[in-house]
Amino acid sequence: MGVAVTSIGLAGFWVLVNGVEYFVPFSDCPVFRSATVEQITSVQHLGAGQLHWPALDADVELEALDRPEQYPLSFC
């Protein structure tokens, strides 16, 4: 399954997973705020809708990116 970070900006970054692009906001995932570009772009797709950043020990569920209103607290 393909995964790649496509863009990083001031508010967050975009990650492409199997042809679908998701926005990961720094406001919801503060672990990425101080991360390097290399750390952010080193993402793994673990399957079952889960992304993992080994260098940051961070996980993000695609469901949380699809429906952030159902995850009101920081989800990273």
pLDDT at 68: 82
* 3-class secondary structure, 40: helix
Contacts of 5 (CB under 8 A, 6+ apart): 13, 14, 15, 16, 40, 41, 43
Q: Spell out the alpha helix ranges (H) of the chain.
A: 37-41, 62-66
The whole-angstrom separation of Cα 13 and Cα 5 is: 7
Instruction: For domain 3-70, give the fold.
Output: NE0471 N-terminal domain-like (3.30.2020)
Q: Where are the domains of the chain?
A: 3-70
Q: Which of residues 70 and 11 earns the better pLDDT score?
A: 11
Distance CA 27, CA 60 (A): 14
Q: Please give the pLDDT value at position 69.
A: 81
